[in-house]
Amino acid sequence: MTVTHQDFEDAIAAYWGAKQLQNEQSAIKAAVGAGTAGSVRGGKHFDVIATLLAKFFLDAGFPPESIRVSKSQGLELPGYYRPQKQWDLVVVHQGVLVAAFEMKALGGPSFGNNYNNRVEEALGSAVDLRRAALAELYPKEKPWLGYFFIMQDGEGSRRPVKTAKGALLFDEIWHGTSYQDRFGIFCERLMAEQLYDAACYVTSSAENPKPIELVESLDWRHFSAAINGRLTYLKDLGIPG
C-alpha cells in the first residue's frame, strides 16, 4: 500500500504526542528496529517520521536490514571534510546508498537561538556528502538526499524578524520575513542548488498538529513524489534485486 497524505498528517500528530501510531506503522517500526525510545538520532519524536519514510522502501521491496533507523544499526556515512556524519535514516542496499534523510525541527519560544544552527547543519551535511561522492566514496549510483523539517507554529515563528545593520547590505529577499518565511526560502535554495534531492517543510504545533505546508514545492506531495521517483529509477536498474 502507498504512503498517503493522511499517513503524513497522522505522523505529524504523533510527533507532538497527539495521536498513537496506527497498527500498520507500529509493525513497520518493529520491522526496521525503531522500537527503543531514543534509538533514532532525532529522538523519540522523530521516530514516527522515520517510520513513515521507511514504509516507502519496505513497500518497494527493500529488505528491513537495508533500512537503518537506529544508532545500533550504523547511521554513519562517509564525509569528505570529516571521516563520518550520522544521518537520521539511511537506506543502503548491496553497496548502493539508496537514500539518506536528515530530520530536524525548530521550536520556541526563542526561535533565534537555534535558527542559524539548523541552517548550518543542513548545509554542512549535504556539502560534505556531495563532495565525498565526487571523491568516489559512494560507488555505483549517485547518492540521494532528503531533508524533513518541522517548524513549531506560533507567534514567535510568524512574526517578522529584525535584521541587524551589518558591514554590507543583505539580500532584500530577507527583508520583513519571519522565521517561517526564512526557512521556506532556505529550503527552496537548498533544492535549487541541488544540495538535497527532496525537501519537506511544514509548520505545526502540539495545540494544532495538522501540518501547514507553506511552500507548494516543499509540500508532502512533492516530497513523496521525489522519493517515489528515486525508487522507480532504481527499480528500472534492478534495485532491489
Q: Which of 22-26, 141-145, 146-150 has the lowest mean pLDDT?
A: 22-26
The pLDDT assigned to 45 comes to 76
- CA distances 109 to 113, 151, 212, Å, are 9, 12, 19
- Alpha carbons 124 and 148: distance in angstroms, whole number: 15
Predicted confidence (pLDDT) per residue in 153-211, tens digit: 999 999 999 988 899 999 999 999 999 999 999 999 999 999 999 999 999 999 999 99
The pLDDT assigned to 41 comes to 35
**pTM higher than 0.75:** yes
Which residue, among 114, 52, 62, has the nearest Cα to 88 in the 3D structure? Answer: 52
The pLDDT assigned to 18 comes to 65
In contact, 104 and 125? CB cutoff 8 Å: no
Q: Is the pLDDT of residue 35 over 90?
A: no
Average pLDDT over residues 15-19: 80
DSSP strand pairing (96-106 vs 89-93): antiparallel
C-alpha cell at 234: 532504481
Task: Please list, residue by residue across 199-212, b when 16 or more beta carbons sit within 10 angstroms of its beta carbon and e when fewer do.
Answer: bbbbbbbeeebebe
Please give the mean pLDDT across all residues of the chain.
90
C-alpha cell at 65: 536490514
- Collapsed DSSP state (helix, strand, coil) of residue 240: coil
CA 147 to chain centroid, in Å, comes to 3
Q: Which of 29-33, 47-51, 188-192, 231-235 has the lowest mean pLDDT?
A: 29-33
Q: Is the pLDDT of residue 93 over 80?
A: yes
Q: Which residues pair with 203 in a beta bridge?
A: 151, 212
Q: Helix 44-59 to helix 23-31 angle, to the nearest 10 degrees?
A: 90
Average pLDDT over residues 93-101: 97
Q: How confident is the model at residue 70 (pLDDT cuts 50, 70, 90)?
A: confident
Q: Is the pLDDT of residue 20 over 80?
A: no
